[in-house]
C-alpha cells in the first residue's frame, strides 16, 4: 500500500511526469504558503514530526498527495499510503492490524495516508475510528470534496482540516520550468518553452499542477525541435488560447462588456461574456464578486432579492466549483440582467460621502444622542426623542440629520420595481412631516 512513495530512482522514467516531479521535501513544495510558510502551523507540525490526525481538502492537482510524500520522507513514524479508490475494507483491516502490532511490540507510530477518503462511504470510514481513538494510527485523509459532508463526523471531530488552494499561474510556471530543468523531469530532452506557451499552460491549468505537467509531457513527446511553442502547447492541452489576458487590457474589456450587458438588461450578451471568461480560465470568484457589487450598484432596491441571489451564487460557486458552477453563474447572470434597475442607493452613498468630506463632522442632534448617564441627561441628550413605534404608521415626525443638513435628500427611489413602493412610502412619510409642520428629511 505504500508503493507510491517508495519508487526507485531507476524506475522513475516509467512514471508520469507529474509523479516524478512530486516534492521530496518542504523546500520543494510550490504554493500553499498560507499553510507552509515559515511559522505556519502545518509546517511546524511536519518539521517537528508532531502530526495529529488531519484532513487535506482542496481541488485536484493542488498538492494533497504531494504533501503526503513530504510527510513520508520526513517522519520517523511508519508511513502507509492507502488509496480509497483501489483499496478495500479488507485491506484497511490488515493495515490496522499491523499498526496495532507495530505499536504494541515496537512502540512505533503508524501514519496512515488515505487518498480520496471521500470514496469510502461513512459506514466504511467507521473502520478507522477505533484505531484513531486508541492512538494506533494517525489518520491523514486527502479529499477534493467538502469534508463536512463527505467525512464521518466522528473522524472529522478528531481531525484538523487544512484547506489547499488552487495554484496561481506563477506557481504553475515554476513547476513547468523545474520539470524542464531537472534530471528526474525532462532535462534529458534539452527543451525550452516559449514565453507565450508557458503563460498559456500556467493560465489554462486552472490551478491544477497535474494538468499543466501532463500537457508539458505530451508536448515534450510530440515536439521535433528544441522549443515548445504556443501551438504545440494548445494541441497538448487540447484547448485554444482566447484573447483574454487576466493581467492586461482585454481582461478589463471583457469584464466591462459583461457588466454593461447586465446593466443594459441583455441576458444573451451577458451570458456570452460570462462564457468568454469561463473558457479563458477566469477565477469564478472574481466573476461572482462583480455580480454581488452589480446587484447593489445597478439593481439595488428595485429588486432587493438580487443581492440575495448573487450571494447565493457566491456560496454555490465556492461549494460546487467549476465546471458545474457555470450553471449557478448563468442563473445569477440571467436574473441580474433581467431584473429592474436602480442605482439610487449607489448615487445616494456617493452624495452622502461627498457631503461628509465637504462639511466634516457635524454635531449629532441632541434629541437622538445616547444618554446613558445622568450628566448626559442633564445636558438634554435624548430629550424630546420620539419613539417611532408609538406613532402613526411607525413614523415619528422628527429630524435625524444635523441641523445644517435639514431637508437634504440623498436617496431618491426610482419608479421601477420594488423601489416604486419605497417611493410611495417615502412620500407618505414626508406628508406626515408636513402635517406636523416639520421639514422633510
| pLDDT grade for 13, boundaries at 50, 70 and 90 | low
**What is the tens place of the pLDDT at every residue in 39-57?**
999 999 999 999 999 999 9
Q: Of 131-145, 167-181, 187-201, 366-380, where does mean pLDDT reach its minimum?
A: 366-380
CA–CA distance from 158 to each of 56, 58, 134 (Å)? 14, 19, 12
Q: Tell me the CATH number of domain 249-338, given options 3.30.300.20, 2.60.40.1510, 1.10.150.120, 1.20.272.10.
A: 1.20.272.10
| Peptide bond between residue 323 and the one before it cis (omega within 30 degrees of 0) | yes
Taking residues 119-144, report their average pLDDT.
90
Query: Percent of the chain scored above 70 by pLDDT?
Result: 90
**CATH code for the domain defined by 3-163:** 3.40.50.300
Q: What is the DSSP code (8-state) at residue 185?
A: T
In the chain, count H helices and then E strands.
Answer: 21, 7
Indicate if the pLDDT at residue 174 is higher than 50: yes
Structural contact between residues 399 and 439, judged by C-beta atoms closer than 8 angstroms: yes
Structural contact between residues 219 and 236, judged by C-beta atoms closer than 8 angstroms: yes
| Residue 242, pLDDT score | 56
Would you tell me how many other CB atoms lie within 10 Å of the CB of residue 102? 18
Calpha distance 76→109 (Å, rounded): 8
| Peptide bond between residue 402 and the one before it cis (omega within 30 degrees of 0) | no
Q: What is the dihedral of CA 319, 320, 321, 324, to 10 degrees?
A: -160
* Half-sphere exposure in the Cβ direction for 417 (13 Å, CA): 18
Average pLDDT, the chain: 86
| Residue 403, pLDDT score | 83
Query: Percent of the chain scored above 90 by pLDDT?
Result: 50
- Helix (H) / strand (E) containing 292: helix 284-294
**What is the tens place of the pLDDT at every residue in 74-131?**
998 899 999 998 888 899 999 999 999 999 898 889 999 999 999 988 888 999 999 9
Q: Of 29-33, 145-149, 260-264, 434-438, where does mean pLDDT reach its minimum?
A: 434-438
Nearest to 263 by CA among 165, 195, 359, 340: 340
C-alpha cell at 397: 415626525
C-alpha cell at 215: 500537457
Structural contact between residues 18 and 176, judged by C-beta atoms closer than 8 angstroms: no
Ramachandran sector of residue 160 (left: φ over 0; alpha: ψ -120 to 50; beta: rest): beta
Taking residues 328-351, report their average pLDDT.
93
| pLDDT grade for 343, boundaries at 50, 70 and 90 | very high
Q: Of 112-126, 187-201, 327-341, 410-424, where does mean pLDDT reach its minimum?
A: 410-424
At the topology level of CATH, where does 363-435 sit? post-AAA+ oligomerization domain-like (1.10.3710)
Between strands 110-115 and 78-83, the pairing is parallel
Would you tell me how many other CB atoms lie within 10 Å of the CB of residue 276? 18
Cα 159 to the chain's mean position, in Å?
22
| Residue 241, pLDDT score | 54
- Edge-to-edge strand list for the sheet holding 110-115: 78-83, 110-115, 138-143, 54-57, 160-163
- pTM of structure: 0.56
**What is the tens place of the pLDDT at every residue in 234-277?**
888 876 555 555 555 567 788 889 999 999 998 899 999 999 88
Indicate if the pLDDT at residue 3 is higher than 50: no
| Residue 342, pLDDT score | 93
**CATH architecture assignment, domain 169-237:** Orthogonal Bundle (1.10)
| pLDDT grade for 287, boundaries at 50, 70 and 90 | very high
| pLDDT grade for 378, boundaries at 50, 70 and 90 | low
Q: Which residues of 323-335 are buried (b: 16+ CB within 10 A; e: fewer)?
A: eebbebbbebbbb
| Residue 9, pLDDT score | 44
Taking residues 48-77, report their average pLDDT.
91
| Residue 401, pLDDT score | 83
| Residue 245, pLDDT score | 53
C-alpha cell at 93: 483491516
**What is the tens place of the pLDDT at every residue in 202-241?**
988 888 899 999 999 999 999 888 999 999 998 888 765 5
| Residue 8, pLDDT score | 42
| pLDDT grade for 7, boundaries at 50, 70 and 90 | very low
The full set of domain ranges for the chain reads: 3-163, 169-237, 249-338, 363-435
| Residue 413, pLDDT score | 87
Radius of gyration for the alpha carbons in the chain, expressed in angstroms and rounded: 30
| Residue 363, pLDDT score | 84
Amino acid at each position: 500500500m505504500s508503493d507510491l512513495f517508495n519508487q526507485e530512482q531507476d524506475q522513475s522514467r516509467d512514471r508520469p511526469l507529474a509523479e516524478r516531479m512530486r516534492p521530496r521535501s518542504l523546500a520543494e513544495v510550490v504554493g500553499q504558503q498560507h499553510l507552509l510558510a515559515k511559522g505556519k502551523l502545518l509546517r511546524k507540525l511536519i518539521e517537528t514530526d508532531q502530526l495529529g490526525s488531519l484532513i487535506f481538502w482542496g481541488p485536484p492537482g493542488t498538492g494533497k498527495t504531494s504533501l503526503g510524500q513530504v510527510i513520508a520522507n520526513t517522519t520517523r513514524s511508519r508511513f502507509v499510503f492507502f488509496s480509497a479508490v483501489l483499496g478495500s475494507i479488507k485491506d484497511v483491516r490488515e493495515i490496522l492490524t499491523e499498526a496495532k502490532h507495530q505499536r504494541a511490540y515496537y512502540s512505533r507510530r503508524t501514519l496512515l495516508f488515505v487518498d480520496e477518503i471521500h470514496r469510502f462511504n461513512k459506514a466504511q470510514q467507521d473502520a478507522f475510528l477505533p484505531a484513531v481513538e486508541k492512538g494506533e494510527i494517525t489518520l491523514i485523509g486527502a479529499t477534493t470534496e467538502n469534508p463536512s459532508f463527505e467525512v464521518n463526523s466522528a473522524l472529522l471531530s478528531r481531525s484538523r482540516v487544512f484547506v489547499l488552494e488552487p495554484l496561481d499561474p506563477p506557481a504553475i510556471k515554476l513547476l513547468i520550468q523545474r520539470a524542464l530543468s531537472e534530471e528526474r523531469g525532462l532535462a534529458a530532452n534539452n527543451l525550452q518553452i516559449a514565453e507565450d506557451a508557458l503563460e498559456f499552460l500556467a493560465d489554462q491549468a486552472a490551478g491544477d499542477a497535474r494538468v499543466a505537467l501532463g500537457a508539458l509531457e505530451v508536448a515534450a513527446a510530440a515536439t521535433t525541435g528544441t522549443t515548445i511553442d504556443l501551438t504545440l502547447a494548445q494541441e497538448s492541452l487540447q484547448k485554444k488560447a482566447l484573447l483574454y489576458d487576466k493581467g492586461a487590457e482585454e481582461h478589463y474589456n471583457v469584464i466591462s462588456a459583461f457588466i454593461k450587458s447586465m446593466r443594459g438588461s441583455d441576458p444573451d450578451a451577458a451570458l456570452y461574456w460570462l462564457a468568454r471568461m469561463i473558457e479563458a480560465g477566469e477565477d469564478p470568484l472574481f466573476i461572482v464578486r462583480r455580480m454581488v457589487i452589480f446587484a447593489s450598484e445597478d439593481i439595488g432596491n428595485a429588486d432587493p432579492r438580487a443581492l440575495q441571489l448573487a450571494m447565493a451564487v457566491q456560496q454555490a460557486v465556492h461549494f460546487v466549483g467549476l465546471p458545474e458552477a457555470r450553471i449557478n453563474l448563468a442563473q445569477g447572470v440571467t436574473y441580474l440582467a433581467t431584473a429592474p434597475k436602480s442605482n439610487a442607493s449607489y448615487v445616494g452613498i456617493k452624495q452622502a460621502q461627498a457631503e461628509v468630506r465637504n462639511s466634516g463632522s457635524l454635531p449629532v442632534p441632541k434629541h437622538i444622542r445616547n444618554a446613558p448617564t445622568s450628566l448626559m441627561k442633564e445636558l438634554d441628550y435624548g430629550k424630546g426623542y420620539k419613539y417611532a413605534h408609538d406613532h402613526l404608521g411607525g413614523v415619528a415626525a422628527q429630524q435625524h440629520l444635523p441641523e445644517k443638513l435639514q431637508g437634504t435628500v440623498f436617496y431618491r427611489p426610482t419608479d421601477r420595481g420594488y423601489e416604486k413602493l419605497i417611493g410611495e412610502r417615502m412620500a407618505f412619510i414626508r406628508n406626515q412631516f408636513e402635517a406636523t409642520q416639520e421639514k422633510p428629511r
